Every structure is written in structure tokens, then in C-alpha cells.
Amino acid sequence: MKLRLIIFSYMILASCSTGMKVPMSQIQRIDFDFAGSFKNKSLIVADQKELITLTDIFEIGELEAESIDLKIINSTSVELSSKVNGLLKSWTFHGNLSEQGYFEVYLRNNYDKGLKSFADIKRIRFSKSTNGNLLVDDYVRNERQFLLWRVGGRKRIQSEFESISNSEQ
């Protein structure tokens, strides 16, 4: 009985929240007609020594792009595009537009619960800041667990990408 209580308590304490950490007062809701051009390198990265790029977050690969165009196609698809060496490249990602005003994409969402559980999750949420920039919440979880022993980790980085129209003013 005590072992069950210990296991149950551990499972409750090990659970996590999945919402965006940015206060709602700094977020402007996005909808179906959201589109914009943003610098590829981030403005603000909390607790990071290097700037992060949108191409890294979306795992597009080594791409020397100055800016990225982002457009919601419908409630379940978003398109990223950029001109590289004079050629237009585009990528479509599937996700959903939430009622809270952000778009959510899962690049990976593999998990299994049980005695030998694992999680391989890569979730991206983005919205618009009140000053017109793109806010991105990048959550990665890669863990393996057997009973009470857990290895791996998770990280969450929130970044802001400057709107091209804001930088031209």
C-alpha cells in the first residue's frame, strides 16, 4: 500500500504544465488570416547565450535565410516560406489554431505510458505580441522511464522574432 502511495505521489509531482508562459496581456490573438514576414533570428531568448532561428525551431535545417514568411492557410495548416539564393522554398506544417489565440504544431508527439514509458515530443506554439512581433514557445521532451527511474530531459524556450514591417519603421 505504501509503495502505491509513493508511486502515485511521484507521478503527480512529475507532471507538467503545457500552456504558454507569456502573459495574456502581451499576446494578440491570431486567427485564420494571420500572415507576416519575420526576421529569422530571435530578438529575445531567455537564459540562452546564442540567438535561435525559426528554421532551427521548425527543424528545417541549415538555411541561410534573412527572413521567413509565415501564413496560416486554414485552421489546421501553416506555411513557412523564404527566398534562398533567389529560389522560393516553402514548408507546410499541420497543427491547429487554438481558441486561446495561438497556433500549435507538433513535429513529434510520440509517447507511451506504462512500466517502461517514453516521451519524444517537439511542440511549437506561436502567436503575435502586442507590438506585432512573433512569439514562439518551443517545447522539447525526450525522456525514458522505468518505474521510478527517469533519464532524459525537457526544455522550453520562448523567443520573440521581429516583424519585418516593424523593423522598417
Q: What digits encode the pLDDT tens for the residues 67-78?
A: 999 999 998 999
User: What total of structural domains would you count in the chain?
Assistant: 1
What is the tally of helices (H) and strands (E) in the chain?
3, 10
pLDDT band at 25 (very low <50, low <70, confident <90, very high): confident
Q: What is the pLDDT of residue 47?
A: 62
Q: Within a 10 A sphere around the Cβ of 137, how many other Cβ atoms?
A: 21
Model pLDDT for residues 48-63, shown as the tens digit of each residue: 667 889 999 999 877 7
pTM for the whole structure = 0.77
Q: Is residue 65 part of a domain?
A: yes
Q: H-helix or E-strand containing 118?
A: strand 116-129
Look up the domain containing 113 and give its range. Answer: 31-167
Q: Is residue 40 part of a domain?
A: yes
Dihedral-angle region of residue 99 (phi above 0 means left; psi in -120 to 50 means alpha; beta otherwise): alpha
pLDDT band at 43 (very low <50, low <70, confident <90, very high): confident
Q: Is residue 156 part of a domain?
A: yes
Q: Is residue 100 part of a domain?
A: yes
Q: Is residue 55 part of a domain?
A: yes
Q: Is residue 118 part of a domain?
A: yes
Q: Is residue 72 part of a domain?
A: yes
Give the separation between CA 68 and CA 41, rounded to whole angstroms. 10
Q: What is the pLDDT of residue 12?
A: 34
Give the separation between CA 27 and CA 131, rounded to whole angstroms. 9
Q: Is residue 19 part of a domain?
A: no
